[in-house]
Amino acid sequence: MPFELAALGSALCWSITGILSTAPSRHLGGIAYTRIRMLIVFVLMLAWTVPSGGFATIDNADWATLLLSGLVGIFIGDTALFTTMARLGPRRTGILFATNAPMTVAITWIVFDETLGWAEIAGCALVVLGVSIAIFYGRRANGGHALEAIHGKVLAGVALGLLAAFCQAVGALMAKPALMNGADPVAVTAVRVGVSALALHASLLLPITAIRARNAMNVDVLVRATAAGVIGMAFGMSLLLYAYGNGNAGIAAILSSTSPVIVLPLLWLVTRQRPSAGAWTGAVTCVAGTALILSRAL
């Protein structure tokens, strides 16, 4: 498979996951939904990784970093992501999550002392502009479909979405050395998912109401959680890591960041309502900014 198709496939997987996950994350709550989803994904990935011997490809020195990467990128990051989705819906969440590109640039600038050029600075500005347009001008005047509904305060949802993007950027950078050392991408994902699933279930010991499910599990939620886990994590993440390992990482990153645009026709198909001009403008601006940021890697 060409790596370009794999990268676009990962963006499509994440767009579908967003639409599938909105209703169950609102039914159970973002934390409870993430906990169930991670457990399902971990069991499925174990069934693949153990027989294939994938864990043996991970160097002993990389295990601690991968475990920490899972706690940051998935335990905190995915929990924040699906809590955002429950509040703001898949379109706004996808836009906010796309800010992980400029965050990655900022982290490498601060930690690794890399120089920022005008392309990166302009790209970051475009991403911020695109997010702002999509969040505040992307809703239809007639209120739109339930997938576009806002639950709770917008600023709280925005803060959680930005936290998810930041954790994704940090977690991915932490996992990179293991991949460069030849670790199997599926095994790396399984380790990260496993430690996050353990942490999410351990959190039930805390006397915090928000950690527990708001409503009882039902068949529809279980089916959606399983489908979203398989499509988003097992397929989407594996396709992205395949693209990184078999082609130009910069091009792969740009193509995989197109989910804010890909989700719009999917929402149009599901809701039978055309996304507003603000939604299209914000999504395209955000992706253009991401492409500009990553253009140096080409």
Q: Which residues contact 266 (CB under 8 A, 6 or more apart)?
A: 15, 16, 19
* Predicted structure pTM score: 0.79
Residue spans per domain, the chain: 3-297
Query: In this predicted model, what pLDDT tens digit does every residue of 23-60 receive, in sequence order?
Result: 888 888 888 988 998 998 899 889 889 998 989 999 99
Residue at 281: amino acid letter: T
Q: How far is CA 195 from the centre of its chain?
A: 17
| 50-96 pLDDT tens trace | 998 989 999 999 999 999 999 999 899 988 988 888 888 887 888 88
Distance CA 272, CA 4 (A): 30
